[in-house]
Structure 1
Protein backbone atom coordinates (compact mmCIF):
# COMPACT_ATOMS: atom_id res chain seq x y z
CA UNK A 1 0.00 0.00 0.00
CA UNK A 2 1.37 3.40 -0.95
CA UNK A 3 2.08 5.88 1.82
CA UNK A 4 0.09 9.09 1.94
CA UNK A 5 1.96 11.96 0.34
CA UNK A 6 1.78 15.55 1.50
CA UNK A 7 1.72 17.98 -1.44
CA UNK A 8 3.38 21.28 -0.57
CA UNK A 9 5.34 24.13 -2.00
CA UNK A 10 9.10 24.43 -1.50
CA UNK A 11 8.39 27.38 0.83
CA UNK A 12 5.96 25.24 2.84
CA UNK A 13 8.58 22.51 3.22
CA UNK A 14 11.15 25.03 4.47
CA UNK A 15 8.63 26.32 7.04
CA UNK A 16 7.95 22.78 8.27
CA UNK A 17 11.69 22.08 8.56
CA UNK A 18 12.13 25.28 10.59
CA UNK A 19 9.15 24.37 12.80
CA UNK A 20 10.56 20.90 13.44
CA UNK A 21 13.93 22.37 14.42
CA UNK A 22 12.20 24.84 16.79
CA UNK A 23 10.07 22.08 18.33
CA UNK A 24 13.02 19.76 18.94
CA UNK A 25 15.72 22.24 19.92
CA UNK A 26 13.73 24.90 21.78
CA UNK A 27 10.23 23.78 22.78
CA UNK A 28 11.07 20.22 23.85
CA UNK A 29 13.88 21.28 26.26
CA UNK A 30 11.60 24.02 27.70
CA UNK A 31 8.84 21.51 28.43
CA UNK A 32 11.29 18.98 29.91
CA UNK A 33 12.61 21.71 32.19
CA UNK A 34 9.07 22.68 33.28
CA UNK A 35 8.37 19.03 34.13
CA UNK A 36 11.57 18.90 36.24
CA UNK A 37 10.64 22.09 38.10
CA UNK A 38 7.07 20.89 38.68
CA UNK A 39 8.36 17.54 40.00
CA UNK A 40 10.41 19.42 42.56
CA UNK A 41 7.18 20.79 44.08
CA UNK A 42 6.55 17.36 45.62
CA UNK A 43 3.29 15.39 45.56
CA UNK A 44 2.50 14.77 41.87
CA UNK A 45 -1.10 13.68 42.52
CA UNK A 46 -2.23 17.27 43.18
CA UNK A 47 0.36 19.11 41.11
CA UNK A 48 -1.41 21.08 38.38
CA UNK A 49 1.89 22.49 37.03
CA UNK A 50 3.16 18.96 36.49
CA UNK A 51 -0.09 17.84 34.82
CA UNK A 52 -0.09 20.88 32.53
CA UNK A 53 3.56 20.34 31.55
CA UNK A 54 2.95 16.63 30.83
CA UNK A 55 -0.09 17.54 28.68
CA UNK A 56 2.00 20.09 26.79
CA UNK A 57 4.73 17.49 26.30
CA UNK A 58 2.19 15.06 24.84
CA UNK A 59 0.88 17.68 22.37
CA UNK A 60 4.43 18.69 21.46
CA UNK A 61 5.51 15.10 20.76
CA UNK A 62 2.37 14.53 18.65
CA UNK A 63 3.17 17.62 16.55
CA UNK A 64 6.81 16.52 16.14
CA UNK A 65 5.62 13.12 14.85
CA UNK A 66 3.13 14.80 12.51
CA UNK A 67 5.72 17.19 11.05
CA UNK A 68 8.30 14.40 10.67
CA UNK A 69 5.71 12.31 8.80
CA UNK A 70 4.81 15.22 6.53
CA UNK A 71 8.46 15.90 5.72
CA UNK A 72 9.20 12.22 5.15
CA UNK A 73 6.40 11.93 2.59
CA UNK A 74 6.56 15.50 1.26
CA UNK A 75 5.66 15.89 -2.39
CA UNK A 76 7.16 19.25 -3.27
CA UNK A 77 5.28 20.60 -6.26
CA UNK A 78 7.29 22.69 -8.68
CA UNK A 79 4.73 25.07 -10.17
CA UNK A 80 7.23 26.04 -12.91
CA UNK A 81 7.20 22.48 -14.27
CA UNK A 82 3.46 22.67 -14.99
CA UNK A 83 1.99 24.41 -18.06
CA UNK A 84 2.08 28.15 -17.21
CA UNK A 85 -1.67 28.47 -17.87
CA UNK A 86 -2.66 25.40 -15.82
CA UNK A 87 -3.88 25.61 -12.23
CA UNK A 88 -1.69 23.67 -9.77
CA UNK A 89 -0.30 23.83 -6.26
CA UNK A 90 2.02 26.79 -5.87
CA UNK A 91 0.18 29.00 -8.34
CA UNK A 92 -1.99 32.05 -7.77
CA UNK A 93 -5.33 31.87 -9.53
CA UNK A 94 -7.56 34.84 -10.30
CA UNK A 95 -11.15 34.06 -11.23
CA UNK A 96 -14.52 35.74 -11.53
CA UNK A 97 -17.82 34.14 -10.65
CA UNK A 98 -20.09 33.98 -13.70
CA UNK A 99 -22.50 36.92 -13.55
CA UNK A 100 -20.30 38.91 -11.15
CA UNK A 101 -17.76 41.63 -11.85
CA UNK A 102 -15.44 41.29 -8.83
CA UNK A 103 -12.57 38.85 -9.20
CA UNK A 104 -10.94 36.78 -6.44
CA UNK A 105 -7.36 35.58 -6.19
CA UNK A 106 -5.99 32.65 -4.19
CA UNK A 107 -2.69 30.85 -4.02
CA UNK A 108 -3.12 27.08 -3.88
CA UNK A 109 -0.85 25.48 -1.28
CA UNK A 110 -0.52 22.22 0.64
CA UNK A 111 -3.01 21.73 3.47
CA UNK A 112 -0.53 22.58 6.25
CA UNK A 113 0.36 25.88 4.53
CA UNK A 114 -3.26 26.97 4.20
CA UNK A 115 -4.11 30.46 5.47
CA UNK A 116 -7.36 31.65 3.87
CA UNK A 117 -7.15 35.08 5.52
CA UNK A 118 -3.95 35.76 3.58
CA UNK A 119 -5.27 34.25 0.35
CA UNK A 120 -3.65 30.80 0.64
CA UNK A 121 -6.12 27.94 0.21
CA UNK A 122 -5.49 24.23 0.69
CA UNK A 123 -5.25 21.94 -2.30
CA UNK A 124 -7.90 19.88 -0.45
CA UNK A 125 -10.43 22.75 -0.39
CA UNK A 126 -13.47 22.49 -2.69
CA UNK A 127 -12.38 25.55 -4.70
CA UNK A 128 -8.83 24.27 -5.28
CA UNK A 129 -9.99 20.72 -6.06
CA UNK A 130 -12.33 22.07 -8.71
CA UNK A 131 -9.73 24.41 -10.27
CA UNK A 132 -6.62 22.18 -10.31
CA UNK A 133 -5.86 20.92 -13.80
CA UNK A 134 -7.95 23.58 -15.53
CA UNK A 135 -6.46 26.41 -17.58
CA UNK A 136 -6.72 30.15 -17.96
CA UNK A 137 -9.91 31.08 -19.85
CA UNK A 138 -11.87 27.97 -18.83
CA UNK A 139 -15.19 28.03 -17.00
CA UNK A 140 -15.24 25.68 -13.99
CA UNK A 141 -18.13 24.55 -11.75
CA UNK A 142 -17.28 24.65 -8.05
CA UNK A 143 -19.35 22.84 -5.42
CA UNK A 144 -18.93 24.07 -1.85
CA UNK A 145 -20.96 23.48 1.30
CA UNK A 146 -22.54 26.87 0.56
CA UNK A 147 -23.71 25.85 -2.90
CA UNK A 148 -22.59 25.40 -6.49
CA UNK A 149 -21.33 28.19 -8.74
CA UNK A 150 -19.40 28.67 -11.98
CA UNK A 151 -16.22 30.71 -12.33
CA UNK A 152 -14.05 31.82 -15.23
CA UNK A 153 -10.30 31.51 -14.67
CA UNK A 154 -8.85 34.93 -15.57
CA UNK A 155 -5.19 34.40 -14.72
CA UNK A 156 -2.74 31.76 -13.50
CA UNK A 157 0.65 32.82 -12.11
CA UNK A 158 3.51 30.80 -10.65
CA UNK A 159 4.67 32.32 -7.38
Structure 2
Protein backbone atom coordinates (compact mmCIF):
# COMPACT_ATOMS: atom_id res chain seq x y z
CA UNK A 1 0.00 0.00 0.00
CA UNK A 2 1.36 3.42 -0.92
CA UNK A 3 1.83 6.22 1.58
CA UNK A 4 -1.16 8.54 1.74
CA UNK A 5 -0.68 11.98 0.23
CA UNK A 6 -0.32 14.83 2.70
CA UNK A 7 -3.21 17.28 2.89
CA UNK A 8 -2.04 20.85 3.38
CA UNK A 9 -4.31 22.89 5.61
CA UNK A 10 -4.26 26.07 7.64
CA UNK A 11 -4.63 25.76 11.41
CA UNK A 12 -8.15 27.18 11.09
CA UNK A 13 -9.21 24.61 8.49
CA UNK A 14 -7.85 21.75 10.59
CA UNK A 15 -9.74 23.06 13.61
CA UNK A 16 -12.98 23.25 11.60
CA UNK A 17 -12.54 19.63 10.52
CA UNK A 18 -11.94 18.54 14.12
CA UNK A 19 -15.08 20.38 15.22
CA UNK A 20 -17.14 18.81 12.44
CA UNK A 21 -15.79 15.36 13.34
CA UNK A 22 -16.73 15.86 17.00
CA UNK A 23 -20.24 17.00 16.02
CA UNK A 24 -20.75 14.04 13.67
CA UNK A 25 -19.47 11.51 16.22
CA UNK A 26 -21.59 12.84 19.06
CA UNK A 27 -24.74 14.66 17.92
CA UNK A 28 -25.33 13.10 14.49
CA UNK A 29 -24.55 9.50 15.49
CA UNK A 30 -26.99 9.81 18.40
CA UNK A 31 -29.68 11.35 16.17
CA UNK A 32 -29.38 8.59 13.56
CA UNK A 33 -29.28 5.82 16.19
CA UNK A 34 -32.53 7.22 17.61
CA UNK A 35 -34.11 7.31 14.13
CA UNK A 36 -33.10 3.68 13.53
CA UNK A 37 -34.55 2.63 16.90
CA UNK A 38 -37.84 4.45 16.17
CA UNK A 39 -38.07 2.87 12.72
CA UNK A 40 -37.44 -0.59 14.21
CA UNK A 41 -40.37 0.03 16.53
CA UNK A 42 -42.68 0.25 13.53
CA UNK A 43 -42.45 -3.48 12.96
CA UNK A 44 -41.53 -5.42 9.83
CA UNK A 45 -38.11 -4.21 8.63
CA UNK A 46 -38.42 -5.76 5.17
CA UNK A 47 -40.82 -3.05 3.97
CA UNK A 48 -39.91 -0.24 6.33
CA UNK A 49 -38.88 2.82 4.29
CA UNK A 50 -38.05 4.84 7.43
CA UNK A 51 -35.65 2.12 8.58
CA UNK A 52 -34.00 1.93 5.14
CA UNK A 53 -33.61 5.73 5.02
CA UNK A 54 -32.13 5.83 8.53
CA UNK A 55 -29.66 3.04 7.70
CA UNK A 56 -28.64 4.86 4.50
CA UNK A 57 -28.14 8.10 6.47
CA UNK A 58 -26.00 6.14 8.92
CA UNK A 59 -23.91 4.79 6.05
CA UNK A 60 -23.34 8.30 4.65
CA UNK A 61 -22.47 9.61 8.12
CA UNK A 62 -19.90 6.89 8.75
CA UNK A 63 -18.34 7.49 5.32
CA UNK A 64 -18.01 11.23 6.07
CA UNK A 65 -16.50 10.47 9.49
CA UNK A 66 -13.96 8.12 7.88
CA UNK A 67 -13.12 10.75 5.26
CA UNK A 68 -12.53 13.45 7.89
CA UNK A 69 -10.45 11.07 10.03
CA UNK A 70 -8.29 10.27 6.98
CA UNK A 71 -7.86 13.96 6.17
CA UNK A 72 -6.88 14.79 9.75
CA UNK A 73 -4.44 11.88 9.85
CA UNK A 74 -2.70 13.17 6.71
CA UNK A 75 -2.94 16.88 7.56
CA UNK A 76 0.14 19.05 7.38
CA UNK A 77 -0.18 22.56 8.77
CA UNK A 78 1.15 25.29 6.52
CA UNK A 79 2.48 28.46 8.10
CA UNK A 80 1.06 31.11 5.79
CA UNK A 81 3.77 33.57 6.88
CA UNK A 82 6.46 31.37 5.33
CA UNK A 83 4.93 31.13 1.87
CA UNK A 84 7.24 32.25 -0.93
CA UNK A 85 5.43 34.96 -2.91
CA UNK A 86 7.68 34.76 -5.97
CA UNK A 87 5.76 31.70 -7.17
CA UNK A 88 2.16 30.53 -6.82
CA UNK A 89 1.83 27.82 -4.17
CA UNK A 90 -0.92 26.55 -1.93
CA UNK A 91 -2.42 29.46 0.08
CA UNK A 92 -1.07 32.01 -2.40
CA UNK A 93 -3.50 34.63 -3.68
CA UNK A 94 -2.99 35.13 -7.38
CA UNK A 95 -4.35 38.02 -9.45
CA UNK A 96 -4.70 37.01 -13.08
CA UNK A 97 -5.87 38.62 -16.30
CA UNK A 98 -7.84 36.67 -18.87
CA UNK A 99 -6.02 37.61 -22.08
CA UNK A 100 -9.09 37.08 -24.27
CA UNK A 101 -11.61 39.11 -22.25
CA UNK A 102 -9.28 41.44 -20.35
CA UNK A 103 -11.08 40.54 -17.11
CA UNK A 104 -9.04 40.29 -13.93
CA UNK A 105 -9.75 37.74 -11.24
CA UNK A 106 -8.33 36.95 -7.83
CA UNK A 107 -7.86 33.32 -6.79
CA UNK A 108 -6.58 31.87 -3.55
CA UNK A 109 -5.11 28.40 -4.03
CA UNK A 110 -6.31 26.06 -1.28
CA UNK A 111 -6.63 22.36 -0.51
CA UNK A 112 -9.75 20.60 -1.83
CA UNK A 113 -11.18 20.66 1.73
CA UNK A 114 -11.11 24.47 1.85
CA UNK A 115 -12.67 25.33 -1.53
CA UNK A 116 -15.10 28.25 -1.40
CA UNK A 117 -15.82 29.49 -4.92
CA UNK A 118 -17.84 32.47 -3.68
CA UNK A 119 -14.75 33.64 -1.77
CA UNK A 120 -12.42 32.96 -4.72
CA UNK A 121 -10.81 29.95 -3.03
CA UNK A 122 -10.05 27.32 -5.66
CA UNK A 123 -8.49 23.91 -5.27
CA UNK A 124 -4.86 23.36 -6.21
CA UNK A 125 -6.25 20.25 -7.96
CA UNK A 126 -8.63 22.24 -10.19
CA UNK A 127 -7.57 22.98 -13.78
CA UNK A 128 -6.84 26.64 -12.99
CA UNK A 129 -5.15 25.73 -9.70
CA UNK A 130 -2.88 23.21 -11.42
CA UNK A 131 -2.09 25.73 -14.14
CA UNK A 132 -1.05 28.42 -11.64
CA UNK A 133 0.98 26.26 -9.25
CA UNK A 134 4.69 26.99 -9.35
CA UNK A 135 4.29 29.86 -11.81
CA UNK A 136 5.58 33.44 -11.36
CA UNK A 137 4.36 36.99 -11.99
CA UNK A 138 4.35 37.70 -15.72
CA UNK A 139 3.87 34.06 -16.70
CA UNK A 140 1.09 33.25 -19.13
CA UNK A 141 -0.64 29.94 -18.50
CA UNK A 142 -3.01 28.15 -20.80
CA UNK A 143 -5.71 26.32 -18.89
CA UNK A 144 -8.22 23.85 -20.26
CA UNK A 145 -11.62 24.54 -18.71
CA UNK A 146 -15.07 23.14 -19.58
CA UNK A 147 -15.68 26.10 -21.92
CA UNK A 148 -12.41 25.48 -23.79
CA UNK A 149 -8.89 26.84 -23.33
CA UNK A 150 -8.18 30.16 -21.66
CA UNK A 151 -4.95 32.10 -21.31
CA UNK A 152 -4.28 33.75 -17.99
CA UNK A 153 -1.44 36.14 -17.26
CA UNK A 154 -0.27 36.25 -13.64
CA UNK A 155 -0.25 39.87 -12.52
CA UNK A 156 0.43 39.51 -8.79
CA UNK A 157 1.09 36.88 -6.14
CA UNK A 158 0.47 37.58 -2.46
CA UNK A 159 -0.22 35.55 0.62
TM-score of the superposed pair, with normalisation by structure 1: 0.89
Check the 8 A contact 2:100/2:150 in 1, yes or no: no
Q: 1:82 to 1:13 in 2, by over 3 A?
A: same
The answer to whether the Cα contact below 8 Å between 1:9 and 1:110 also exists between their aligned partners in 2 is no
Q: Are 1:119 and 2:120 an aligned pair?
A: yes
Give distance in 1, aligned partners of 2:20 and 2:132: 30
Deviation at 1:37, TM superposition (A): 1.3
Match of 1:151 in 2: 152
Runs of 5+ consecutive residues of structure 2 not aligned to the other structure: none
Aligned residue pair count: 158
How far apart are residue 152 of structure 1 and its match?
A: 1.6
Question: Which consecutive aligned stretches of 4+ in structure 1 deviate over 3 angstroms post-superposition?
Answer: none
Return the TM-score normalized by structure 2.
0.89
Name the counterpart of 2:68. Answer: 67
Give the match for residue 20 of structure 2.
Answer: 19
Shift of residue 51 of structure 1? 1.1
1:83 alignment counterpart: 84
Judge conservation of contact 1:7–1:77 (CA < 8 Å) in 2: yes
| Of 58-67 and 107-116, the range deviating more from structure 2 | 107-116
Can you give the 5+ residue segments of structure 1 that lack an aligned partner in the other structure? Answer: none
When the two chains are superposed, the root-mean-square deviation of aligned CA atoms in Å is 1.7
